[in-house]
Structure 1
Amino acid sequence: MTPLLMTRGLSRDFGGLRAVDGVDFTLNQGEIRALIGPNGAGKTTFVSLVCGRIAPSAGTIAFNGSDITRLPAHRRVRLGIAYTFQITSIFANLPVYDNVALPVQRTLEDGRGGGAVRAGVMEVLEKVGLADRAATPAGQLAYGHQRLLEMAIGLALKPRLLILDEPTQGLADGEIESFIRLVREIAREATVLIIEHNMKVVMELAGRVTVMEAGKILAEGTPAEIRENQAVQAAYLGTAHG
């Protein structure tokens, strides 16, 4: 089976710093994969390369068997790659509804009217638990709810690959349980790659875990294998929070 996402020798330099260093990474259709590692390990730079926000210094990226290394970000979105940012990126002055309506309109076939847009928006807002806040200006939402809105915007694009960058940051414990259920539901239709520091979330959700350190992949395996890996413990898990 062709991997959904594959990188080979992927690298990115910033001046004299190599933030991502020769990463070979494979992600199969239908996975929930966690990407973990200490701050500065290169995780966000790696997924920024995958979604096209920054260009690689070396290496290749293939999505569903096609080389996308030089494709601009908006073309990757059309292919089915959606990325929610570590720092919330919403239209703060627009209502929650309008934030989601914009990407819904992009996925509808030409000629479908406002009823189809509304149905699509409300379906996504129901999924993330924000349907009752549809009329609220996005900037007035609590931070955790802004993160959920960002997930809704990603979902509205009907992605094949949904990349979540620190999605539980700012969520209360009860909201985290709801988030875990939501990701499991999303994974029925999309592949999920999640950068996460909350190890409870990682161990509950991920089928496999990739650990980065200093721009390289340090280890890969099941949550149980990663928990027992001494190199990972030394680099990260011994000092991880949550």
Structure 2
Amino acid sequence: MAAMILSARGLTRHFGGLKAVDGVDFDLAQGEIHAIIGPNGAGKTTFVSLLSGRIPVQSGSITFNGQDITRLPAHARVARGIAYTFQITAIYARLPVYDNVALAVQRQGSRALRRDTMAALARVGLDDRADQEAGTLAYGHQRLLEIAMGLALKPRLLILDEPTQGLANSEIEGFKALVRSVVPDTTVLLIEHNMDVVMDLAQRITVLNFGRLLAQGTPADIRANGAVQAAYLGG
């Protein structure tokens, strides 16, 4: 069995009376592609925000690469090898595409700035748009730019929140090929509503509902799970 790169135990975050994440246990194997699914409001984005440090943990623990990161801020988790792309694009809109990625490359400490920046852009098919102002890109291309920024950090864990939102069908195939190309060196955790993408790409799937773990298993396991069908897959 593959080693676990990340584990969470009893992870909890409430907002007033809303139990966004309610005592979730979670294990992520090194080198896998793992999807998190569930109905709107299930707690998916809050959960990965806890893992990445964007939201502080209320209770519970998180270990990454064998070390406790529960109280580490987000920037310290990036330095440990966790990159997180946002559900809503978080690019520097007035800077050129090249500069957006170059900033991430610089943070990683590269001594070959242009080579590594252009390589990251080429991986997502945006190398021919390096000089374009990032805010003028189509929304789908902005999502790809954000992925390039994440890859430029050379992370051990890449967390993607709704990565195919805004992508054309032709771009989705390229995205799936891209994700497959980064494993096993990089572990991928994604939140995704496109079930065709989830079932084709993920090796394991975690289902959240009302902030709690509903099910976990292979795509075949999830398809056959009656509770998941009732809560999310529509029968």
How does the TM-score come out when normalised to structure 2? 0.98
The residue aligned with 2:12 is 11
Tell me what 1:40 maps to.
41
2:12–2:23 CA contact under 8 A, matched in 1: yes
Alignment map for 1:44-193 (pairs within 5 Å): 44-108=45-109, 112=111, 116-193=112-189
Who is 1:214 aligned against?
Answer: 210
Is the Cα contact below 8 Å between 1:2 and 1:65 reproduced in 2?
no
Q: What do residues 54-102 of structure 1 show as CA deviations (whole Å, max 9, x unaligned)?
A: 1111100100111100001100000000000000000000000000000
- Asked if the contact 1:8/1:24 (under 8 Å) is kept, the reply is yes
Q: SS of the counterpart of 2:90?
A: coil
1:225 aligns with 2:193: no
Report if the CA contact (8 A) 2:30-2:184 is conserved: no
SS at match of 2:174: helix
**What residue in structure 1 maps to residue 197 of structure 2?**
201
Describe the superposition over 1:26-56 as per-residue Cα deviations: whole angstroms up to 9, x where unpaired.
0010010000000000000000000000111
Contact 1:100 1:152 in 2 (8 A): yes
For 1:180 and 1:223, the matched residues in 2 are separated by 16
Q: Output the CA distance in 2 between the equivalents of 1:10 and 1:56.
A: 7
CA distance in 1 between counterparts of 2:145 and 2:233 reads 30
Give the whole-Å Cα distance in 2 for the aligned partners of 1:187 and 1:139: 30
The unaligned stretches of length 5 or more in structure 2 are: none
| Cα distance in 1 for residues equivalent to 2:86 and 2:108 | 20
Alignment deviations for residues 196-215 of structure 1 (CA, whole Å, 9 cap, x no partner)? 00000001100000000000
Find the counterpart in structure 2 of residue 234 from structure 1.
230
2:28 match? 27
**What residue identity is the alignment partner of 1:162?**
L
Q: Is the 8 A contact 1:42 1:215 kept in 2?
A: yes
- Tell me the distance in 2 between the aligned counterparts of 1:24 and 1:188: 23
Q: What is the TM-score normalised by the length of structure 1?
A: 0.95
Equivalent pair of 1:2/1:64 in contact (CA under 8 Å): no
Secondary structure (helix, strand or coil) at the match of 2:234 reads helix
The structural deviation recorded for 1:2 is 4.4
**Equivalent position SS for 1:135:** coil
Whether contact under 8 Å (1:19, 1:42) holds in the other structure is yes
DSSP 3-state at the match of 1:4: strand
Cα deviation 1:10-29 (Å, max 9, x = unaligned): 00010111100000000010
In structure 1, how many angstroms separate the alpha carbons of the residues matched to 2:32 and 2:24?
19
Work out the CA distance in 2 between the residues paired with 1:2 and 1:190.
Answer: 13
Whole-angstrom distance in 2 between the partners of 1:187 and 1:41: 27
